[in-house]
Structure 1
Amino acid sequence: MDKRALETVEVETAFLVRRATSISTLKKIGDLDRSAYLLLHQIASHGSAGVKALADEFRLNISTVSRQAASLEQKGYVTRIPDPTDRRAYSLEITEEGLHELQAHKQARMKRIGNLLRDWSDEELETFGRLLTKFNRTFLDEES
């Protein structure tokens, strides 16, 4: 492995995280923080899910996801669906209000990112998206 290339990826990843966090803190979009956005996106994309499944997906502990889910439920963005086989268990389902908030948030994020990447070619965007997806998936392999 090329050490210089690895060093570039390491430091550029650190800058990416810092700058992305800085932008989202300074220019908050709507009523969703990053955790809420990702939970709603997961539920909207893959269907209703229990807290344990969401915790496993995001590599978080159950109590963290439970707190985040309770906040989403309080805002009316998700609702609990009882598990018919285990009365103590439930799944979370996105509501119409949650879907609306998610879509509005996503559009604002895409506009912001689109502005940042406006000078990139379609080919560069395709390549970056593909490599970023590949990079994110390596974390799943690492934690297995």
Structure 2
Amino acid sequence: MDKATSEVEYEQMLLSRHGLLTRRKGRRVDGVMERSAYVLLSRIRVQGPMSIGELSDAFDLDASTLQRQTSAAMRAGLVGRIPDPAGGMARKFRITDEGARLLDEEREGMIRSLGRVMTDWPKEDISAFAHYLRRFNTDLERIDGRPWPRP
């Protein structure tokens, strides 16, 4: 997997969470994971297990919205609930093996699609584009006060 294209994919996913791109309905549309599940799983993968409160703070969404999203992800077998590893009272959500597999599959498909779009781009241009997307996202995060952890 091309590192620069992988960076572009990740930054594009982060950009999409700001609502600048089209949203899809349903968990999978034509074999594509729903955007909210894709972003939810991506955040949990980078940060580790998270409670509803932590997810609410991270996404600036009401707990009820996160309850619906995590419930749908649980029904789909993408996440499971575990006791807080730090011993806290709140249960946390973690990615299941199936959720990780589907997230990897989705991300690889996105990277392939981006690769087709940028097939004639020099590697330097792809790296510069990833840099500018990351810069744009981190500036949005700074303004919003919600930094997104990166791998």
Pick the TM interval, shorter chain.
Answer: 0.7 to 0.9
Contact 1:79 1:94 in 2 (8 A): yes
Identity %: 31
* Structure showing greater Rg: 1
Number of residue pairs the alignment of both structures matches: 124
Measured against aligned partners, the alpha-carbon deviations of 1:52-105 in whole angstroms (never above 9, x if no partner) come to 21222222222212211111001111000123432xx21001010101110111
Which protein, 1 or 2, shows the higher relative CO under an 8 Å CA cutoff with sep ≥ 6? Answer: 2
Change in CA separation of 1:69 and 1:137 when aligned onto 2, cut-off 3 Å: same
Question: Structure 2, unaligned stretches of length 5 or more?
Answer: 1-14, 146-151
The 1-side partners of 2:66 and 2:30 are apart by 21
In the alignment, what sits opposite 2:112?
Answer: 111
Measured against aligned partners, the alpha-carbon deviations of 1:92-140 in whole angstroms (never above 9, x if no partner) come to 0101010111011111111111111111111111111011011011122
Question: Structure 1, unaligned stretches of length 5 or more?
Answer: 1-12
Point out 4+ residue stretches in structure 1 off by more than 4 angstroms: none
The 1-side partners of 2:29 and 2:114 are apart by 14
| Correspondence list, 1:34-49, <5 A | 34-49=35-50
RMSD: 2.4
Measured against aligned partners, the alpha-carbon deviations of 1:13-68 in whole angstroms (never above 9, x if no partner) come to 9xxx77x528x68x945352111001111111221111221222222222212211
The 1-side partners of 2:30 and 2:52 are apart by 25
TM-score, normalising length from structure 1?
0.76
In the alignment, what sits opposite 1:68?
Answer: 69
The 2-side partners of 1:28 and 1:117 are apart by 24
Contact 1:29 1:108 in 2 (8 A): no
The match for 1:85 among 73, 88, 91 is: 88
In the alignment, what sits opposite 1:10?
Answer: none
The 2-side partners of 1:104 and 1:45 are apart by 16
User: Comparing both structures, which one devotes a greater share of its residues to helix?
Assistant: 1
